[in-house]
Amino acid sequence: MVTLTPLEAELLEVAGSVLDPELPVVTLRELGVLRAVHVRDTDTVDVELTPTYTGCPAVEAMSLDIERALHAHGVREVTVRTVLSPAWSTDDISAEGRRKLREFGIAPPRVRKAAEPVGITLGPTRTRDADASADMGADMGADMGAAMGAALEPILCPHCGSADTELLSRFSSTACKALRRCLACREPFDHFKEL
């Protein structure tokens, strides 16, 4: 970890407090996409931002919002650069970010032990195990979860907290989310997929 100057820490705080344009309850800092702020001279600043997904269309809106926030804070020139390495992972979302996602009605991604996905072992074609008690977020959860080397807890319904939920679609309103349904309260909900 590079030591930040007091000014850089202050600007990181300002840039980090910008809200995600598509999930306007979490800040960029809680989302873990803000990598660094470098002060080149007193009023010229470089910001490093990493995308959640390679094709995430929110990056441009995030960059503009960061520029706006830093300008408002008195920084004259702001350059936002997109960096790919190290790759962002849902494990970079802070505990506070997860809590806010849940409150917003989105099941947060589960924290994984291993980082990299490997070969996929597939189960049956059903999207839900016949045996609901063994479900524990099976379907995609078990397949991809096992593939990602994860010991995963069940995906809980963000509305009622039930662990009895099923996958409706692997891709939802954005690439980073899957669509699920709670079998207890019957509400559909988004799940921020583990990446």
Partner 1 sequence: MTTTTHTHTAALALGDDALVLSHRLGEWMGHAPVLEEEVALGNIALDLLGQARILLSMAGDEDELAYLREERAFRNLQLVEQPGGDFAHTIARQLYFSTYQHLLYARLASVEGPFAGLAAKAVKEVAYHRDHAEQWTLRLGDGTEESHERMRRACTALWRFTGEMFAPLDGLDLDLSELEPVWLESVRSVLERAGLAVPEGSRTGAWRAGAGREGLHTESFGRMLAEMQHLHRSHPGASW
35-72 per-residue burial string, b: 16 or more CB within 10 A, e: under 16: bbbbbeeeeebebebbbbeeebebbeebbebbbebbee
In the chain, what are the helix, strand and coil shares in percent, each to the nearest 5? Answer: 25, 20, 50
Nearest distance from C-beta of residue 14 to partner 1, angstroms: 27
What residue type is assigned to position 105 of the chain?
A: G
Nearest distance from C-beta of residue 85 to partner 1, angstroms: 4
Interface with partner 1 (CB under 8 A), residue from 25, 36, 160, 175: 175
| Rounded Cα–Cα distance for residues 109 and 53 (Å) | 14
Give yes or no for residue 148 binding partner 1 (CB under 8 A): yes
Give yes or no for residue 149 binding partner 1 (CB under 8 A): no
Using CB under 8 A as the binding rule, the residues of this chain from 57 to 86 that contact partner 1 are 57, 84-86
Size of the site for partner 1 (CB under 8 A): 37
Query: CA angle 40-59-64, nearest 5°?
Result: 55
Tell me which stretch binds partner 1 (CB under 8 A): 3-11, 46-54, 149-157, 180-188.
46-54
Using CB under 8 A as the binding rule, the residues of this chain from 155 to 174 that contact partner 1 are 168-174
| Rounded Cα–Cα distance for residues 101 and 95 (Å) | 10
Which chain residues interact with partner 1 by CB under 8 A? 51, 53-57, 84-89, 116-120, 122, 124-125, 127, 140, 143-144, 147-148, 168-175, 179, 193, 195
